[in-house]
Structure 1
Amino acid sequence: MKILIIEDEKELRETLVASLQKEQYVVEIAANYGDAIEKIGLYEYDCILLDITLPDGSGLNILSKLKVMDKSENVIIISAKNSLDDKLKGLDLGADDYLTKPFHIAELNARIKAVLRRKNLDGKNTIEIGNLIFDIDERTLFVNQQSVHLNRKEFDVLNYFLVNKNRLITKTALAEYVWGDQIDQADDFDFIYYQIKNLRKKLQESTADISIESVYGVGYKLVEK
């Protein structure tokens, strides 16, 4: 899962990054309005944590731009402002939740998981396809009721494919989702090939009812057998 933190307060931003990385999320940051606009224009995110008050613009304007761009990122507003007007404006512009500072990190983690379940999994914690059960919260995979070990990146890759079953996934989109926007510095996508190769082997050995097919020159597609 890939999260963007839009927050100008350095100490809080660093705390959020450390906490969310422990939860195995890919985390990116924007410390101001300008950086935030650039990132939402270039990349896709599973969740955005958005501060309303930024030094060079309003977080509410970012919500408006997301709406115009028809982007479906899950947005949780995190703001010191606790007025009803701000909350209603944010929710009306498409925010999924609103958390007032100060807050406990455990509560934020719970809110993130809740909005991801609502948007991506119809409120469920798991994805079930054929003989496969994939648990998002526990980060586990079972095939034929037998546990299949996945490393962190293999889990993230499979998660992206399962949420986008039967859709064409480009190598660039997969790389940005799993490795973040630092992927721009990579010389090639060989590392994706090796992750896919290892994941395919584990799925095949466990006789999973899914396969990852290559689309020559473009990317991959996950299909149910």
Structure 2
Amino acid sequence: MKILLVEDDVNLREVVQRSLEKERYIVEVAPDFRTGIQKIEDYTYDCILLDIMLPDGNGLELLEQLKEMRKRENVIIISAKDSLEDKVLGLELGADDYLPKPFHLAELNARIKSVIRRNQQNGEITIKYGNIEVFPDKYRVQVDGKELDLNRKEYDILVYFMNRPGRLVNKNTMAESVWGDHIDQVDNFDFIYAQIKNLRKHLKEAGATPEVKAVYGLGYKMTMD
């Protein structure tokens, strides 16, 4: 899962980033409005944590532009401005939640899991496809009720596909979500192909009914065809 944190307070930004990385999220940061817009235009995120009061713009304006781009990222506003007007406007512009500062990191993590579960998993605690079941809160995978042991990146790739069953997945977009935005600077994707190859092997050996199939020249698709 990949998160964008748009926050100008360097101390809070570092604390939140470290906390979320411990929860196994890929965290990208933007210290101002301009950087936030650039990242949103160029990349896709599972959740955006958005401060309203930025040094070069208003976070609500960024939320408006996100809506105009027709992007569907989950958005949680985190702001010291705890006014009813800002809450209502933020939610009307498409934010999924509003968390006033100061906040506990445990509550922020719970809010992130909640909006992702609500919007990507239809409110379910687990993700199911065929005979595969993923338990995101515990980072566990079962095939036909039996535990499947995966390394971290294999697990992250599986979750990415499980949230998009039957959909063609562009390899670049998937790689950005699992490895972070800096992935576009690498010379080749050989290490990614190796992780996908290992994941496919583990699923086959476990008797999984879904299969990750390569679509030549385009990407991959998890399907039971």
Q: So what's the TM-score if we normalise by structure 1?
A: 0.98
Q: How does 1:62-101 map to 2 (within 5 A)?
A: 62-101=62-101
The residue aligned with 1:104 is: 104
C-alpha distance in 2, partners of 1:75/1:18?
A: 19
Q: How does 1:22-41 map to 2 (within 5 A)?
A: 22-41=22-41
C-alpha distance in 2, partners of 1:69/1:217?
A: 27
The letter of the residue matching 2:170 is T
The residue aligned with 1:223 is: 223
C-alpha distance in 1, partners of 2:170/2:88?
A: 37
Q: Greater shift after overlay, 140-149 or 128-137?
A: 128-137
The residue aligned with 2:9 is: 9
The residue aligned with 1:124 is: 124
C-alpha distance in 2, partners of 1:15/1:153?
A: 24
C-alpha distance in 1, partners of 2:76/2:105?
A: 13
Is the Cα contact below 8 Å between 1:171 and 1:192 reproduced in 2?
no
Q: How does 1:144-163 map to 2 (within 5 A)?
A: 144-163=144-163
Q: So what's the TM-score if we normalise by structure 2?
A: 0.98
The letter of the residue matching 2:141 is L
Unaligned runs of 5+ in 1: none
Is the Cα contact below 8 Å between 1:171 and 1:189 reproduced in 2?
no
C-alpha distance in 2, partners of 1:170/1:110?
A: 29
Secondary structure of residue in 1 paired with 2:187: coil
Secondary structure of residue in 2 paired with 1:27: strand
Q: Percent identity?
A: 56
- Which deviations, in whole Å up to 9, do the C-alpha atoms of 1:86-126 show, x marking residues without a partner? 11110110000000100000000000000001100111111
Q: How many residues align?
A: 225
1:130 CA displacement = 2.2
1:51 to 2:74 alignment: no
C-alpha distance in 2, partners of 1:96/1:176?
A: 23
Unaligned runs of 5+ in 2: none
- Which deviations, in whole Å up to 9, do the C-alpha atoms of 1:13-41 show, x marking residues without a partner? 00010000000000000000000000000
C-alpha distance in 2, partners of 1:130/1:144?
A: 9
1:145 CA displacement = 1.0
C-alpha distance in 2, partners of 1:119/1:140?
A: 20
Runs (4+) of structure 1 exceeding 6 A deviation are none
C-alpha distance in 2, partners of 1:186/1:160?
A: 21
The letter of the residue matching 2:8 is D
C-alpha distance in 2, partners of 1:171/1:102?
A: 38
C-alpha distance in 2, partners of 1:85/1:170?
A: 39
1:135 CA displacement = 1.1
C-alpha distance in 2, partners of 1:184/1:209?
A: 32
